[in-house]
Amino acid sequence: MSKTEEKVVASEAETESFVPRQGRRGTMRGAVLYGPGDVRFEERAAPTIQEPTDAVLRISATCVCGSDLWPYRGIQAINGPTPMGHEYCGFVEEVGSAVKQVVPGQFVVGSFFASDNTCAICRAGFQSRCVQAQPLGAEGAQAPFLRVPLADGTLVATPDIPPDDLIPSLLAASDVLGTGWFAADAAAAGPGKTVAVVGDGAVGLLGVLSAKQMGAERIIAMSRHEARQRLAREFGATDIVTERGDEGVARIKDMTDGLGAHSVIEAVGTQESMMQAIRSTRPGGHVGFVGVTHGVQLPGMELFFAEVHLLGGPAPVRGYLPELIDLIWKRKINPGKVFDLTLPLDQVAEGYRAMDQRRAIKTLLLP
């Protein structure tokens, strides 16, 4: 047998090891939210290829997002039992006939929004608002398998099969790191800049990490919690401010010669946090807001005279994934440190409780 023939046989054997196991995947168990505080790990239909552009992944790790807590707390309504989860990484198990960029057996990371990555909006860098955008939360990633629509435009393969210790960081790239990176980018963080971060959850903390990577001179983390303050320092924060609201704004102004920060990351999504972010920003500065907003109303006249740039929304993670994966792969950043609680997937309800009660920053779930 020639070397070329040996390679073909080896490739076919590798692919065969990832042939979809339909008998095993007719049903599976995953997280389903029934109502406030009521997350259940129960049987539901396993994903299958529905469109030629789909892929089905075998999940290596998933997690609970801060935004999952809005419906968990009853603040965001749901229509009946709802599969949960939108952060994921794992192995390609199966692909549709039109998928060309990923193949069974590859380890991949994907965004929480599926996108074609070819439309005019995607090419402008806003893949989360793709003309074909589909939220992955509708598929429910807190499960052993996940259908990913628009696989070629959504998934990015790692250079090789990652070692286990990189998986938490690669998982973080699918949302929480990508969102923190977008926030820092939208806030124009960079050399010579003072960056203030409103919110000490996982997104805010990775906003600190992102601002540091972008070369910010001074990074002010606004936090009242010692464990989160320590992680913020580790990620690159130079200062900690414990005050909130108007008192927090006054402290930022005191620290910046009365001007305010050049760049402010808003990573909460409440009226108070949004106004705190805007009021902490100097005229001509930038606010990157990524907290999922609930009940936020901006006073028009104050905004008019604030004269600040506002950019935010659901992060276009797909556009950042190649760079973020490269930084993680080369061990230049370790965003996986935001996961301070790891549980088996069947204990997902405890993962929600821990985050809701602020006993955990972010819960990692392993199928």
Q: What is the pLDDT of residues 127-168, one digit of tens each?
A: 999 999 999 998 999 999 999 999 999 999 999 999 999 999
Q: Is the pLDDT reported for residue 203 higher than 50?
A: yes
Which pLDDT score is estimated for 7? 36
Q: What is the pLDDT of residue 25?
A: 54
In angstroms, the Cα distances linking 60 to 104, 192, 213 are 14, 39, 27
pLDDT tier at 10, thresholds 50, 70, 90: very low
Rounded Cα distance between 292 and 140, Å, is 19
Which domains are present in the chain?
Answer: 53-64+71-175+316-366 (3.90.180.10), 180-312 (3.40.50.720)
pLDDT in tens, 256-271: 999 999 999 999 999 9
For every residue of 258-281, DSSP letters joined together read TS-EEEEEE-S-SHHHHHHHHHTE
Half-sphere exposure in the Cβ direction for 298 (13 Å, CA): 17
Does 67 have pLDDT greater than 70? yes
pLDDT at 18 over 90: no
pTM of the predicted structure, to 2 decimals: 0.91
Q: What mean pLDDT, rounded, does the chain reach? A: 93
Continuous segment of H or E residues that includes residue 286:
strand 281-289
CA-CA distance, 96 to 348, in Å (whole number)?
Answer: 30
Tell me what percent of the residues of the chain surpass a pLDDT of 70.
Answer: 93
